[in-house]
Structure 1
Amino acid sequence: MIKNLAQFTSEEKVIKKIFEIISSLFSPKTIIYVSITNNKMTAIKSIPPNIKNTEFALKKLMSTEENYYLFEKKKGFIIKIIHSKELLGFIEINEIEYPQYLNRYLNIAIVISRICGLSISNARIYQRLTKTLEELKLSNKDLEQFAHIVSHDLKQPLTNLIMSLHILKSNIIEDNNLMLEKRVEESAFNLNSMIEKILELATFGHRNENLIKIDCNKVLKQVLENLSSIIERRNAIVTYTKLPEIYANEIEIIQLFQNFIDNGIKYNKKKNPEIHISVEKVGADWSFSIKDNGIGIYSKDFNMIFEPFNRVGNGIKKSGTGIGLSICKRIIERLEGRLWLDSEIDKGSTFYFKIPIKEDLS
């Protein structure tokens, strides 16, 4: 059974097999695994589920150079999982059926922990390589779309700028100078907006991935302040229920809600665009919904709108780069979530996303 550990490509599968081995060898009542990444707890697995009373034992073990700690009643122990001097996690084995063999069990567990360390390290390397390959595939696809937008979408406002400036310089049509100045300003604004969005997409994968606890209610208030100009100009109504605290990158969550709300107002023919944001707890996930009363999206375009540089107007003049929803999708996927939508033409769209509920592991 132990030899098979090397074949697993995910940490979760390694730990599942380790739990099976420990259960068959020691018959403990509880097994707890604490995953460590960069000296921080990132996950806890246990049998039975949802056991988290490991703090005392962890503090004891962290304060010593020993690789294990025996519980006072001598019915179990907790062991460090180390590979190449890197701390990868802890395994706690408690309430062993035959505590008189505790020392023998401890020696066996130390050997298992070394094999476990190697297997977890290999699994993490494999996952990082897989993620890198997926990002490279996405990058290659984005480069093709990038070439299209540079050759076509960016070319148009740039051409308008050059022509308008040439006319102004030549004073060919003096009476229309004000109109030309407005066209120059508009073209420059569009060009700048496109470049900013392209840079935003290009640098997305290089951000700091450290997640912090953020209050979505405070984030949404910031978003509404950022969008106050378009909300007032369009007489839009944005409502929301009480939102949860989540672990995420605050800037990305601001982007997420801002893109959804901005699109709900921009692609809307109603006198009063309406956007409603709600959330509910579904199992181990937070399930968010962002509903608008806009123009709607044809079902054939559902998948396309999440790709970079794709825009769906449905009767409204298309503007922007078509990058916003692509960034939303990537933000949610970085949080191990999923994004999808329902929509009906002329009645509106509802965007849904689910993200796992993260426990406080700080």
Structure 2
Amino acid sequence: MSIHPLPPPKAPTGLGRLPVAQWFVLLGVLAAVTFVAGVVIVLTMSTQAAALNPSPDLAAHLSRLNAALIVVFALLLGLGVGLVATVRYAVLKPIDQLTAQVRTVAGGDFDHDLHVDRPAELAELSSHIDSMRARIVSAWRVATDQAEELRRSNGELEQFAYVASHDLQEPLRKVASFTQMLEQRYGPQLDERARQYIHFAVDGAKRMQLLINDLLDFSRVGRVTGERSVVDSGAALDRALENLSATIEDAEATVTRDELPPVSGNELQLTQLFQNLIENAVKFRSEAPPRVHIGVRRDGDMWEFSCSDNGIGVEPKYADRIFLIFQRLHPRDVYPGTGIGLALCRKIVEYHGGQLWLDGEGGDGATFRWTLPMVGGEG
């Protein structure tokens, strides 16, 4: 299996820039120079001592000392050669092998085995690294299979969305329209219960159409609504208020705002985000006329927006549940809707790389906060 190579390693700093082999060569040269200097010094001193015509006993002692020094120097020379061979074949060569294997894996061939036989420390290290490589490759393959399955599932969902938008809505429209025509034509012949059944049928068909449309909007986020660009969030809010003008007027609501900045995002989705949050603020109002404020402040490299109202609020224990699709806190006959609005808002914000959360306590209105990325280079 070959995948994208890993990024290049960080450059070493300080004394670490010199490879281990060069360190051994440098120390070996210094040891050899010291050894040769010692031999030369000993031979020079022995020659000078012999030139002094020492007594026979002293001369014999000097001879034995010279022999001992020769043996010692020979042993040191043998140990030095043995040390060089040991370092070369037991340390440096295995390190080179392991380095070459790691480079192969880092280059993208993640099926390449990592293994050295010596020394014991490097053998253990290579075993651990190879075990990690195997686990990562296994997890990557599982993730690849899941991603492929997810792409296939998304394709099926897109096909379902097409069917829902066309093939399902047409029968619903026929059910609603023909049921209404039935009431208009045979109204005088129907009793009150029959009219009630007709009303239930029409209302169910309309609610199903609304649910299908909301599901389509939810599935389209990040898929068919266009690329991101620099969006004037104030203009997006204006379009949302224009779409809600009748609702706001009927509820005698007041919507105020801060000066909103440009953000990096999708214009249509941001308009939908403002529209859903303001519509919820107006829908879940208290006895007082609704007051909604759209605020913004800077938070690092993000803009933090807020939508505050004076409505019935949300209890803190439901702060996470309200963002789940189809989750409702109130009966449908009290507050109509499909239960998708806030889930759609969170999906839009997360698609833009931000977060949406509830910041408030029940009874004192509700405040929703969300973050959106700044325009590149802003500030």
The 3 A distance-change label for structure 1 pair 196 and 289 is: same
Structure 2 residue 178 is matched with structure 1 residue 171: no
The 3 A distance-change label for structure 1 pair 308 and 334 is: same
Question: Which residue matches 1:220?
Answer: 237
The 3 A distance-change label for structure 1 pair 182 and 231 is: farther
Per-residue deviation at 1:262?
0.5
Structure 1 counterpart SS, 2:366: strand
The 3 A distance-change label for structure 1 pair 134 and 266 is: farther
Structure 2 residue 337 is matched with structure 1 residue 336: no
Distance 2:350 2:279 in 1: 21
The 3 A distance-change label for structure 1 pair 208 and 259 is: closer
Per-residue deviation at 1:204?
2.8
Distance 2:145 2:294 in 1: 34
- Is the contact between residue 255 and residue 291 of structure 2 (CA under 8 Å) also seen in structure 1? yes
- Is the contact between residue 277 and residue 307 of structure 2 (CA under 8 Å) also seen in structure 1? yes
Counterpart code for 1:268:
R
Per-residue deviation at 1:165?
6.3
- Is the contact between residue 221 and residue 351 of structure 2 (CA under 8 Å) also seen in structure 1? no
Question: Which residue matches 1:357?
Answer: 374
1:80-99 to 2 correspondence within 5 Å?
none
- Is the contact between residue 176 and residue 202 of structure 2 (CA under 8 Å) also seen in structure 1? no
- Is the contact between residue 234 and residue 265 of structure 1 (CA under 8 Å) also seen in structure 2? yes
Distance 1:335 1:264 in 2: 23
- Is the contact between residue 294 and residue 307 of structure 2 (CA under 8 Å) also seen in structure 1? yes
**CA shift digits 1:187-227 (9 cap, x unpaired):** 55433322211221233352255210011011111110010
- Is the contact between residue 161 and residue 184 of structure 1 (CA under 8 Å) also seen in structure 2? no
Identity of aligned residues (%): 28
Question: Which residue matches 1:246?
Answer: 263
Distance 1:299 1:227 in 2: 28
Q: Flag structure 1 segments of 5+ consecutive residues without an equivalent.
A: 1-5, 26-111, 147-153
Moved more, 321-330 or 226-235: 321-330
Question: Which residue matches 2:18?
Answer: none
The 3 A distance-change label for structure 1 pair 250 and 314 is: same
- Is the contact between residue 248 and residue 254 of structure 2 (CA under 8 Å) also seen in structure 1? yes
Distance 2:13 2:184 in 1: 84
Question: Which residue matches 1:326?
Answer: 343
Question: Which residue matches 2:287?
Answer: 270
1, 10, 23: which one aligns with 1:21: 10
Counterpart code for 1:21:
K
Counterpart code for 2:284:
Y
Distance 1:212 1:278 in 2: 22
Structure 2 residue 334 is matched with structure 1 residue 345: no
Per-residue deviation at 1:118?
9.7
Per-residue deviation at 1:131?
9.7
Question: Which residue matches 1:310?
Answer: 327
Structure 2 residue 214 is matched with structure 1 residue 197: yes
Counterpart code for 1:272:
P
Aligned residues: 247
- Is the contact between residue 176 and residue 205 of structure 2 (CA under 8 Å) also seen in structure 1? no
Moved more, 340-349 or 227-236: 340-349
Distance 1:158 1:295 in 2: 38
Per-residue deviation at 1:183?
7.0
Distance 1:292 1:135 in 2: 39
**TM-score normalized by the length of structure 1:** 0.54
Structure 2 residue 315 is matched with structure 1 residue 298: yes
**CA shift digits 1:9-59 (9 cap, x unpaired):** 9x9xx66xx4x624749xxxxxxxxxxxxxxxxxxxxxxxxxxxxxxxxxx
Question: Which residue matches 2:247?
Answer: 230
Per-residue deviation at 1:318?
3.0
1:29-68 to 2 correspondence within 5 Å?
none
Higher helix content, 1 or 2: 2
Counterpart code for 2:10:
I
Structure 2 counterpart SS, 1:330: helix
The 3 A distance-change label for structure 1 pair 360 and 329 is: same
The 3 A distance-change label for structure 1 pair 312 and 334 is: same
Per-residue deviation at 1:357?
2.5
Superposition RMSD on alpha carbons, in Å? 4.8
Per-residue deviation at 1:316?
7.5
Q: Flag structure 2 segments of 5+ consecutive residues without an equivalent.
A: 15-102, 111-136, 162-168
Distance 1:330 1:308 in 2: 10
Per-residue deviation at 1:269?
2.5
Counterpart code for 1:171:
G
